[in-house]
Protein backbone atom coordinates (compact mmCIF):
# COMPACT_ATOMS: atom_id res chain seq x y z
CA UNK A 1 0.00 0.00 0.00
CA UNK A 2 2.73 2.45 0.95
CA UNK A 3 4.71 1.52 -2.17
CA UNK A 4 1.80 2.55 -4.38
CA UNK A 5 1.50 5.91 -2.62
CA UNK A 6 5.14 6.68 -3.41
CA UNK A 7 4.47 6.34 -7.14
CA UNK A 8 2.67 9.68 -7.24
CA UNK A 9 4.85 11.58 -9.74
CA UNK A 10 5.47 15.33 -9.54
CA UNK A 11 5.22 16.92 -13.01
CA UNK A 12 5.64 20.53 -11.84
CA UNK A 13 4.77 22.61 -8.77
CA UNK A 14 1.02 22.24 -9.37
CA UNK A 15 0.57 18.98 -11.31
CA UNK A 16 0.97 15.43 -10.04
CA UNK A 17 0.57 12.27 -12.08
CA UNK A 18 -0.72 8.87 -11.04
CA UNK A 19 0.95 6.52 -13.58
CA UNK A 20 -1.14 3.93 -15.42
CA UNK A 21 0.67 1.11 -13.64
CA UNK A 22 -0.44 2.40 -10.24
CA UNK A 23 -3.18 -0.22 -10.16
CA UNK A 24 -4.49 -2.90 -12.52
CA UNK A 25 -7.15 -1.80 -14.97
CA UNK A 26 -6.14 1.83 -15.36
CA UNK A 27 -6.70 2.87 -18.98
CA UNK A 28 -5.19 6.35 -18.60
CA UNK A 29 -3.05 8.12 -15.98
CA UNK A 30 -4.45 10.30 -13.23
CA UNK A 31 -3.67 14.02 -12.97
CA UNK A 32 -4.05 16.01 -9.76
CA UNK A 33 -3.74 19.80 -9.62
CA UNK A 34 -2.36 20.62 -6.19
CA UNK A 35 0.37 22.35 -4.23
CA UNK A 36 2.94 20.44 -2.19
CA UNK A 37 0.93 21.12 0.97
CA UNK A 38 -2.32 19.86 -0.55
CA UNK A 39 -0.66 16.71 -1.86
CA UNK A 40 0.30 15.83 1.70
CA UNK A 41 -3.35 15.92 2.71
CA UNK A 42 -4.44 14.04 -0.43
CA UNK A 43 -1.93 11.28 0.34
CA UNK A 44 -3.24 11.06 3.87
CA UNK A 45 -6.94 10.75 3.04
CA UNK A 46 -6.25 8.39 0.07
CA UNK A 47 -8.48 10.38 -2.30
CA UNK A 48 -6.01 9.77 -5.12
CA UNK A 49 -7.24 6.15 -5.12
CA UNK A 50 -10.61 7.40 -6.34
CA UNK A 51 -8.85 9.29 -9.14
CA UNK A 52 -7.15 6.03 -10.13
CA UNK A 53 -10.44 4.11 -9.99
CA UNK A 54 -12.10 6.55 -12.38
CA UNK A 55 -9.17 5.99 -14.78
CA UNK A 56 -10.38 2.37 -15.13
CA UNK A 57 -13.75 3.24 -16.67
CA UNK A 58 -14.41 2.42 -20.35
CA UNK A 59 -13.93 5.12 -22.95
CA UNK A 60 -12.11 7.57 -20.69
CA UNK A 61 -10.06 10.07 -22.68
CA UNK A 62 -6.60 11.42 -21.86
CA UNK A 63 -6.63 11.19 -18.04
CA UNK A 64 -8.68 11.15 -14.85
CA UNK A 65 -8.34 14.57 -13.24
CA UNK A 66 -8.80 16.14 -9.83
CA UNK A 67 -8.76 19.79 -8.79
CA UNK A 68 -6.99 21.19 -5.70
CA UNK A 69 -10.23 21.16 -3.68
CA UNK A 70 -10.37 17.37 -4.06
CA UNK A 71 -11.82 15.34 -1.20
CA UNK A 72 -13.48 11.96 -0.75
CA UNK A 73 -16.76 11.48 -2.58
CA UNK A 74 -19.18 8.79 -3.67
CA UNK A 75 -17.35 6.87 -6.41
CA UNK A 76 -15.69 9.84 -8.07
CA UNK A 77 -13.77 12.20 -5.81
CA UNK A 78 -15.34 15.59 -5.21
CA UNK A 79 -13.21 17.82 -7.40
CA UNK A 80 -13.06 15.13 -10.09
CA UNK A 81 -13.17 15.73 -13.86
CA UNK A 82 -13.31 13.02 -16.52
CA UNK A 83 -14.39 12.87 -20.16
CA UNK A 84 -15.63 9.75 -21.96
CA UNK A 85 -15.96 9.10 -25.68
CA UNK A 86 -19.36 7.52 -26.41
CA UNK A 87 -18.10 6.32 -29.79
CA UNK A 88 -15.48 4.25 -27.96
CA UNK A 89 -17.88 2.79 -25.39
CA UNK A 90 -17.52 5.76 -23.06
CA UNK A 91 -19.81 5.73 -20.03
CA UNK A 92 -21.98 8.04 -17.99
CA UNK A 93 -21.97 7.54 -14.22
CA UNK A 94 -24.21 9.00 -11.46
CA UNK A 95 -21.19 8.83 -9.16
CA UNK A 96 -19.43 11.23 -11.53
CA UNK A 97 -22.18 13.81 -11.02
CA UNK A 98 -23.11 13.30 -7.39
CA UNK A 99 -26.29 13.35 -5.34
CA UNK A 100 -26.80 17.12 -5.51
CA UNK A 101 -27.18 17.39 -9.27
CA UNK A 102 -26.35 20.91 -10.50
CA UNK A 103 -25.29 22.16 -7.14
CA UNK A 104 -24.03 25.55 -8.29
CA UNK A 105 -23.36 29.17 -7.49
CA UNK A 106 -24.98 32.41 -8.60
CA UNK A 107 -23.34 35.82 -8.10
CA UNK A 108 -25.44 39.00 -8.04
CA UNK A 109 -23.85 42.43 -8.19
CA UNK A 110 -25.48 45.51 -6.68
CA UNK A 111 -24.97 49.25 -6.98
CA UNK A 112 -24.40 49.44 -3.22
CA UNK A 113 -21.12 50.20 -1.47
CA UNK A 114 -20.07 48.61 1.80
CA UNK A 115 -20.66 51.95 3.55
CA UNK A 116 -24.31 51.86 2.43
CA UNK A 117 -24.86 48.78 4.59
CA UNK A 118 -23.05 50.02 7.69
CA UNK A 119 -25.21 49.03 10.67
CA UNK A 120 -27.70 47.28 8.38
CA UNK A 121 -26.14 43.89 7.64
CA UNK A 122 -27.75 42.09 10.60
CA UNK A 123 -31.18 43.48 9.72
CA UNK A 124 -30.75 42.57 6.07
CA UNK A 125 -29.66 39.03 6.98
CA UNK A 126 -32.79 38.71 9.14
CA UNK A 127 -34.93 39.89 6.21
CA UNK A 128 -33.30 37.34 3.89
CA UNK A 129 -33.67 34.58 6.49
CA UNK A 130 -37.40 35.26 6.66
CA UNK A 131 -37.74 35.40 2.89
CA UNK A 132 -35.68 32.38 1.77
CA UNK A 133 -36.68 29.02 3.32
CA UNK A 134 -33.64 27.04 4.43
CA UNK A 135 -32.72 23.98 6.47
CA UNK A 136 -33.16 20.22 6.16
CA UNK A 137 -36.40 19.33 4.37
CA UNK A 138 -37.39 22.99 4.01
CA UNK A 139 -40.43 23.77 1.88
CA UNK A 140 -41.08 26.99 0.01
CA UNK A 141 -44.28 28.91 -0.61
CA UNK A 142 -44.45 27.62 -4.20
CA UNK A 143 -46.65 24.56 -4.52
CA UNK A 144 -46.33 22.98 -7.94
CA UNK A 145 -48.95 20.87 -9.63
CA UNK A 146 -47.65 17.79 -11.46
CA UNK A 147 -48.15 19.56 -14.79
CA UNK A 148 -46.35 22.68 -13.63
CA UNK A 149 -43.49 20.64 -12.21
CA UNK A 150 -43.03 19.04 -15.62
CA UNK A 151 -42.56 22.52 -17.08
CA UNK A 152 -39.89 23.25 -14.44
CA UNK A 153 -38.03 20.07 -15.40
CA UNK A 154 -38.19 20.87 -19.11
CA UNK A 155 -37.53 24.63 -19.00
CA UNK A 156 -35.44 25.38 -15.90
CA UNK A 157 -34.75 29.08 -15.38
CA UNK A 158 -37.04 29.89 -18.29
CA UNK A 159 -40.00 28.53 -16.33
CA UNK A 160 -39.12 30.72 -13.33
CA UNK A 161 -38.74 33.89 -15.39
CA UNK A 162 -41.99 33.29 -17.28
CA UNK A 163 -43.72 32.70 -13.92
CA UNK A 164 -42.60 36.15 -12.77
CA UNK A 165 -39.51 35.20 -10.76
CA UNK A 166 -36.89 37.23 -12.62
CA UNK A 167 -35.96 38.94 -15.86
CA UNK A 168 -35.15 37.77 -19.36
CA UNK A 169 -31.52 38.91 -19.03
CA UNK A 170 -31.06 36.54 -16.05
CA UNK A 171 -31.27 33.63 -18.49
CA UNK A 172 -28.52 35.10 -20.68
CA UNK A 173 -26.10 35.06 -17.76
CA UNK A 174 -26.84 31.50 -16.62
CA UNK A 175 -24.78 28.55 -17.83
CA UNK A 176 -26.63 26.74 -20.63
CA UNK A 177 -29.22 29.51 -20.51
CA UNK A 178 -30.52 27.82 -17.35
CA UNK A 179 -31.85 24.85 -19.29
CA UNK A 180 -29.98 21.67 -20.22
CA UNK A 181 -31.27 20.14 -23.45
CA UNK A 182 -32.37 16.52 -23.35
CA UNK A 183 -34.44 16.66 -20.16
CA UNK A 184 -36.91 13.78 -20.08
CA UNK A 185 -39.48 13.92 -17.25
CA UNK A 186 -40.68 10.43 -18.20
CA UNK A 187 -37.31 9.07 -16.99
CA UNK A 188 -37.92 10.48 -13.49
CA UNK A 189 -39.47 8.34 -10.75
CA UNK A 190 -42.77 9.30 -9.05
CA UNK A 191 -40.86 9.54 -5.76
CA UNK A 192 -38.44 12.14 -7.17
CA UNK A 193 -41.36 14.13 -8.58
CA UNK A 194 -43.11 14.00 -5.21
CA UNK A 195 -40.03 15.33 -3.44
CA UNK A 196 -39.73 18.20 -5.90
CA UNK A 197 -43.25 19.57 -5.59
CA UNK A 198 -42.62 21.82 -2.56
CA UNK A 199 -38.92 22.71 -2.67
CA UNK A 200 -38.52 25.19 -5.52
CA UNK A 201 -37.16 28.42 -4.04
CA UNK A 202 -35.49 26.81 -1.00
CA UNK A 203 -31.86 26.88 0.07
CA UNK A 204 -31.54 23.55 1.83
CA UNK A 205 -28.81 22.75 4.34
CA UNK A 206 -25.21 21.54 4.59
CA UNK A 207 -22.73 23.64 2.65
CA UNK A 208 -25.47 25.60 0.87
CA UNK A 209 -25.58 29.26 1.74
CA UNK A 210 -26.73 32.76 0.96
CA UNK A 211 -24.04 35.38 1.52
CA UNK A 212 -23.77 39.17 1.39
CA UNK A 213 -20.24 40.09 0.32
CA UNK A 214 -18.06 43.01 -0.65
CA UNK A 215 -15.42 43.20 -3.37
CA UNK A 216 -12.24 43.36 -1.31
CA UNK A 217 -9.71 43.40 -4.14
CA UNK A 218 -9.67 43.63 -7.92
CA UNK A 219 -7.01 41.36 -9.44
CA UNK A 220 -7.81 41.82 -13.14
CA UNK A 221 -9.17 45.32 -13.73
CA UNK A 222 -10.19 44.73 -17.35
CA UNK A 223 -12.20 41.58 -16.61
CA UNK A 224 -13.68 43.09 -13.43
CA UNK A 225 -14.91 46.07 -15.44
CA UNK A 226 -16.51 43.77 -18.03
CA UNK A 227 -18.21 41.84 -15.21
CA UNK A 228 -19.41 45.14 -13.69
CA UNK A 229 -17.45 44.89 -10.44
CA UNK A 230 -15.23 47.31 -8.48
CA UNK A 231 -13.58 47.53 -5.05
CA UNK A 232 -16.06 48.21 -2.24
CA UNK A 233 -19.07 47.01 -4.21
CA UNK A 234 -21.66 44.80 -2.46
CA UNK A 235 -22.52 41.44 -4.02
CA UNK A 236 -24.75 38.50 -3.11
CA UNK A 237 -23.78 34.86 -3.61
CA UNK A 238 -26.28 31.98 -3.71
CA UNK A 239 -25.07 28.39 -3.41
CA UNK A 240 -27.55 25.51 -3.66
CA UNK A 241 -28.74 22.74 -5.95
CA UNK A 242 -31.61 20.46 -6.91
CA UNK A 243 -32.66 19.62 -3.34
CA UNK A 244 -34.50 16.35 -2.67
CA UNK A 245 -35.46 15.99 -6.32
CA UNK A 246 -31.86 15.63 -7.51
CA UNK A 247 -30.93 13.42 -4.56
CA UNK A 248 -33.73 11.02 -5.45
CA UNK A 249 -32.77 10.96 -9.14
CA UNK A 250 -29.23 9.95 -8.19
CA UNK A 251 -30.45 7.33 -5.73
CA UNK A 252 -32.84 5.82 -8.26
CA UNK A 253 -30.21 5.46 -10.98
CA UNK A 254 -27.36 4.12 -8.86
CA UNK A 255 -29.23 0.81 -8.59
CA UNK A 256 -30.18 0.83 -12.27
CA UNK A 257 -26.62 1.61 -13.33
CA UNK A 258 -25.25 -1.18 -11.17
CA UNK A 259 -27.44 -3.60 -13.11
CA UNK A 260 -26.45 -1.95 -16.39
CA UNK A 261 -22.74 -2.33 -15.65
CA UNK A 262 -23.26 -6.08 -15.23
CA UNK A 263 -25.39 -6.23 -18.39
CA UNK A 264 -22.70 -4.55 -20.50
CA UNK A 265 -19.81 -6.46 -18.93
CA UNK A 266 -18.20 -3.40 -17.35
CA UNK A 267 -15.67 -4.32 -14.68
CA UNK A 268 -15.76 -1.80 -11.81
CA UNK A 269 -12.93 -1.25 -9.31
CA UNK A 270 -15.57 0.23 -6.98
CA UNK A 271 -19.31 -0.49 -7.18
CA UNK A 272 -19.95 3.19 -6.44
CA UNK A 273 -18.74 3.83 -10.00
CA UNK A 274 -21.87 2.13 -11.37
CA UNK A 275 -22.31 3.26 -14.97
CA UNK A 276 -23.60 2.44 -18.43
CA UNK A 277 -22.44 3.30 -21.94
CA UNK A 278 -23.47 6.93 -22.51
CA UNK A 279 -25.34 6.03 -25.71
CA UNK A 280 -27.13 3.01 -24.24
CA UNK A 281 -30.84 3.12 -23.27
CA UNK A 282 -29.82 3.20 -19.59
CA UNK A 283 -27.29 5.95 -20.23
CA UNK A 284 -29.82 8.04 -22.13
CA UNK A 285 -32.44 7.54 -19.41
CA UNK A 286 -30.02 8.72 -16.73
CA UNK A 287 -29.01 11.75 -18.76
CA UNK A 288 -32.67 12.66 -19.34
CA UNK A 289 -33.43 12.45 -15.61
CA UNK A 290 -30.20 14.22 -14.63
CA UNK A 291 -31.03 17.06 -17.05
CA UNK A 292 -34.42 17.40 -15.34
CA UNK A 293 -32.65 17.75 -11.98
CA UNK A 294 -30.23 20.28 -13.47
CA UNK A 295 -33.14 22.35 -14.74
CA UNK A 296 -34.86 22.07 -11.36
CA UNK A 297 -31.72 23.47 -9.71
CA UNK A 298 -31.51 26.41 -12.11
CA UNK A 299 -35.17 27.22 -11.49
CA UNK A 300 -34.51 26.93 -7.76
CA UNK A 301 -31.61 29.42 -7.80
CA UNK A 302 -33.57 31.75 -10.07
CA UNK A 303 -36.49 31.85 -7.61
CA UNK A 304 -34.14 32.33 -4.65
CA UNK A 305 -32.55 35.28 -6.44
CA UNK A 306 -36.04 36.74 -6.87
CA UNK A 307 -36.65 36.38 -3.12
CA UNK A 308 -33.26 38.06 -2.48
CA UNK A 309 -34.19 41.02 -4.67
CA UNK A 310 -37.51 41.32 -2.85
CA UNK A 311 -35.85 41.20 0.59
CA UNK A 312 -33.40 43.96 -0.38
CA UNK A 313 -36.28 46.05 -1.71
CA UNK A 314 -38.40 45.62 1.42
CA UNK A 315 -35.53 46.30 3.82
CA UNK A 316 -33.78 49.12 1.96
CA UNK A 317 -36.83 50.75 0.42
CA UNK A 318 -35.60 50.79 -3.18
CA UNK A 319 -36.41 48.58 -6.17
CA UNK A 320 -33.94 45.93 -7.40
CA UNK A 321 -33.45 48.04 -10.55
CA UNK A 322 -32.62 51.09 -8.44
CA UNK A 323 -30.26 48.96 -6.34
CA UNK A 324 -28.53 47.65 -9.47
CA UNK A 325 -29.19 44.00 -8.56
CA UNK A 326 -28.09 42.24 -11.74
CA UNK A 327 -26.91 38.68 -12.24
CA UNK A 328 -23.20 38.39 -13.00
CA UNK A 329 -23.38 34.67 -13.75
CA UNK A 330 -24.62 31.26 -12.57
CA UNK A 331 -22.34 28.22 -12.81
CA UNK A 332 -22.99 24.51 -12.21
CA UNK A 333 -20.73 22.20 -10.20
CA UNK A 334 -22.18 18.70 -10.44
CA UNK A 335 -23.02 17.76 -14.01
CA UNK A 336 -22.37 15.47 -16.95
CA UNK A 337 -22.61 17.20 -20.34
CA UNK A 338 -22.07 16.31 -23.95
CA UNK A 339 -19.52 18.77 -25.31
CA UNK A 340 -17.25 18.97 -28.33
CA UNK A 341 -13.53 19.13 -27.57
CA UNK A 342 -10.29 18.73 -29.48
CA UNK A 343 -8.69 15.31 -29.04
CA UNK A 344 -5.45 14.73 -30.96
CA UNK A 345 -6.31 17.61 -33.28
CA UNK A 346 -9.84 16.55 -34.15
CA UNK A 347 -13.22 17.53 -32.74
CA UNK A 348 -14.82 14.77 -30.67
CA UNK A 349 -18.18 14.60 -28.88
CA UNK A 350 -17.43 13.73 -25.26
CA UNK A 351 -19.47 13.14 -22.13
CA UNK A 352 -17.68 15.41 -19.65
CA UNK A 353 -18.25 14.74 -15.94
CA UNK A 354 -17.58 17.58 -13.52
CA UNK A 355 -18.20 16.59 -9.91
CA UNK A 356 -17.32 19.43 -7.58
CA UNK A 357 -15.70 21.19 -10.53
CA UNK A 358 -16.65 24.29 -12.51
CA UNK A 359 -16.83 24.89 -16.24
CA UNK A 360 -14.17 27.47 -17.21
CA UNK A 361 -14.56 28.26 -20.92
CA UNK A 362 -12.11 30.76 -22.49
CA UNK A 363 -12.53 34.13 -24.21
CA UNK A 364 -14.29 33.85 -27.53
CA UNK A 365 -16.01 30.53 -26.81
CA UNK A 366 -19.52 30.51 -28.32
CA UNK A 367 -21.11 29.43 -25.03
CA UNK A 368 -19.74 32.46 -23.16
CA UNK A 369 -22.23 35.37 -23.06
CA UNK A 370 -21.35 37.91 -25.77
CA UNK A 371 -20.90 40.65 -23.16
CA UNK A 372 -18.11 38.58 -21.58
CA UNK A 373 -16.62 37.22 -24.80
CA UNK A 374 -13.41 39.21 -24.63
CA UNK A 375 -12.49 38.06 -21.12
CA UNK A 376 -13.97 34.56 -20.84
CA UNK A 377 -16.59 32.80 -18.77
CA UNK A 378 -17.07 33.97 -15.18
CA UNK A 379 -16.01 31.24 -12.73
CA UNK A 380 -17.47 31.59 -9.23
CA UNK A 381 -15.47 29.97 -6.42
CA UNK A 382 -17.02 30.19 -2.94
CA UNK A 383 -14.91 29.81 0.17
CA UNK A 384 -16.04 28.93 3.69
CA UNK A 385 -18.23 31.30 5.68
CA UNK A 386 -15.29 32.93 7.44
CA UNK A 387 -12.91 33.56 4.54
CA UNK A 388 -12.89 34.87 1.00
CA UNK A 389 -14.67 33.82 -2.16
CA UNK A 390 -13.46 34.56 -5.70
CA UNK A 391 -14.64 35.39 -9.16
CA UNK A 392 -12.27 33.99 -11.78
CA UNK A 393 -12.38 33.70 -15.57
CA UNK A 394 -11.87 30.74 -17.89
CA UNK A 395 -8.74 30.27 -19.99
CA UNK A 396 -7.48 28.62 -23.17
CA UNK A 397 -5.17 26.48 -21.01
CA UNK A 398 -8.21 25.00 -19.28
CA UNK A 399 -9.81 24.27 -22.64
CA UNK A 400 -6.67 22.45 -23.82
CA UNK A 401 -5.89 20.57 -20.64
CA UNK A 402 -8.98 20.09 -18.43
CA UNK A 403 -11.91 20.09 -20.89
CA UNK A 404 -12.52 23.70 -19.86
CA UNK A 405 -12.75 22.92 -16.13
CA UNK A 406 -11.38 24.25 -12.84
CA UNK A 407 -11.99 23.98 -9.07
CA UNK A 408 -15.37 24.66 -7.44
CA UNK A 409 -14.61 25.83 -3.90
CA UNK A 410 -12.39 25.40 -0.88
CA UNK A 411 -12.83 21.64 -0.41
CA UNK A 412 -13.26 19.92 2.93
CA UNK A 413 -10.35 19.14 5.22
CA UNK A 414 -12.49 17.47 7.89
CA UNK A 415 -15.53 15.21 7.70
CA UNK A 416 -18.79 16.58 9.03
CA UNK A 417 -18.58 14.26 12.03
CA UNK A 418 -15.02 15.33 12.82
CA UNK A 419 -15.98 18.99 12.48
CA UNK A 420 -18.89 18.63 14.91
CA UNK A 421 -16.60 16.93 17.38
CA UNK A 422 -13.91 19.61 17.03
CA UNK A 423 -16.42 22.45 17.40
CA UNK A 424 -18.18 21.03 20.49
CA UNK A 425 -18.79 23.75 23.06
CA UNK A 426 -17.92 26.62 20.70
CA UNK A 427 -20.24 29.36 19.48
CA UNK A 428 -19.26 29.73 15.83
CA UNK A 429 -21.61 32.61 15.06
CA UNK A 430 -20.28 34.68 17.99
CA UNK A 431 -16.67 33.96 17.05
CA UNK A 432 -17.19 35.03 13.45
CA UNK A 433 -18.93 38.24 14.51
CA UNK A 434 -16.39 39.18 17.18
CA UNK A 435 -13.21 38.22 15.31
CA UNK A 436 -14.14 38.92 11.69
CA UNK A 437 -17.24 41.11 11.82
CA UNK A 438 -19.33 38.55 9.91
CA UNK A 439 -23.01 38.19 10.77
CA UNK A 440 -24.06 34.52 10.61
CA UNK A 441 -27.53 33.03 10.90
CA UNK A 442 -28.41 29.32 10.63
CA UNK A 443 -31.18 26.87 11.40
CA UNK A 444 -29.03 24.69 13.63
CA UNK A 445 -25.79 24.55 15.59
CA UNK A 446 -24.96 21.27 13.84
CA UNK A 447 -24.83 23.02 10.46
CA UNK A 448 -22.57 25.77 11.80
CA UNK A 449 -20.20 23.27 13.39
CA UNK A 450 -19.99 21.17 10.22
CA UNK A 451 -19.35 24.29 8.13
CA UNK A 452 -16.83 25.97 10.43
CA UNK A 453 -13.90 27.56 8.54
CA UNK A 454 -11.38 25.14 10.00
CA UNK A 455 -13.27 22.24 8.35
CA UNK A 456 -12.18 23.54 4.94
CA UNK A 457 -9.00 24.21 3.00
CA UNK A 458 -8.16 27.88 2.63
CA UNK A 459 -9.80 28.94 -0.63
CA UNK A 460 -7.04 31.50 -1.15
CA UNK A 461 -4.57 28.63 -1.48
CA UNK A 462 -6.89 26.59 -3.70
CA UNK A 463 -7.41 29.49 -6.10
CA UNK A 464 -3.68 30.17 -6.17
CA UNK A 465 -3.12 26.65 -7.53
CA UNK A 466 -5.54 27.00 -10.44
CA UNK A 467 -4.18 30.48 -11.20
CA UNK A 468 -0.58 29.28 -11.21
CA UNK A 469 -1.51 26.21 -13.25
CA UNK A 470 -3.17 28.49 -15.79
CA UNK A 471 -6.58 26.79 -15.83
CA UNK A 472 -8.39 29.92 -14.64
CA UNK A 473 -7.36 33.42 -13.63
CA UNK A 474 -8.30 35.60 -10.67
CA UNK A 475 -10.56 38.57 -11.31
CA UNK A 476 -11.92 39.74 -7.93
CA UNK A 477 -11.59 38.69 -4.31
CA UNK A 478 -14.74 38.86 -2.19
CA UNK A 479 -15.14 39.11 1.59
CA UNK A 480 -18.24 37.97 3.53
CA UNK A 481 -20.32 40.50 5.47
CA UNK A 482 -23.25 38.28 6.38
CA UNK A 483 -24.05 34.59 5.85
CA UNK A 484 -27.17 32.42 6.01
CA UNK A 485 -26.73 28.67 6.46
CA UNK A 486 -29.47 26.06 6.48
Verify whether residue 408 is a known catalytic residue.
Answer: yes
What is the rounded distance in angstroms from the CA atom of residue 176 to the CA atom of residue 40? 37
Residues 79, 66 contacting (CB under 8 angstroms): yes
Residues 362, 399 contacting (CB under 8 angstroms): yes
Q: State whether residue 33 is helix, strand or coil.
A: strand
Burial 266-292 (b: 16+ CB within 10 A, else e): bebbeebbbbbbbbbebbbbbbbbbbb
What is the rounded distance in angstroms from the CA atom of residue 207 to the CA atom of residue 408? 13
Selected catalytic residue, list 247, 333, 408, 427 = 408
What is the rounded distance in angstroms from the CA atom of residue 237 to the CA atom of residue 242? 17
What is the rounded distance in angstroms from the CA atom of residue 81 to the CA atom of residue 89? 18
- How far apart are the two ends of the chain, measured CA to CA in Å? 40
Strand 473-485 vs strand 439-442: parallel, antiparallel, or unpaired? parallel
Q: How far is CA 269 from CA 22, 53, 76, 98, in A?
A: 13, 6, 11, 18
Q: What kind and span of H or E run contains 316?
A: helix 281-316
Positions marked active-site: 408
Amino acid sequence: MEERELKLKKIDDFRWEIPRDFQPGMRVPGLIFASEDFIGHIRKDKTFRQVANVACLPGIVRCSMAMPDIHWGYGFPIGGVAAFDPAAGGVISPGGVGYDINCGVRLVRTGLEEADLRGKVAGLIDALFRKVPCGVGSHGIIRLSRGEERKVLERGSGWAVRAGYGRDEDIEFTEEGGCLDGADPDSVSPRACERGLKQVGTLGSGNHFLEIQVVEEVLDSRAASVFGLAVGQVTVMIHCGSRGFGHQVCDDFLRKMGEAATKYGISLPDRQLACAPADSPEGRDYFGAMACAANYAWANRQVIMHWVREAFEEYLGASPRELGMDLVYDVAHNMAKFETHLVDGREVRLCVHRKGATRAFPPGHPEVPSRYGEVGQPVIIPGDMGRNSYLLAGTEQAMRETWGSTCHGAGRMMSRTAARRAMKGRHIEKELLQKRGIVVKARSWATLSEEAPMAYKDVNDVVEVVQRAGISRKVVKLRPLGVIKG
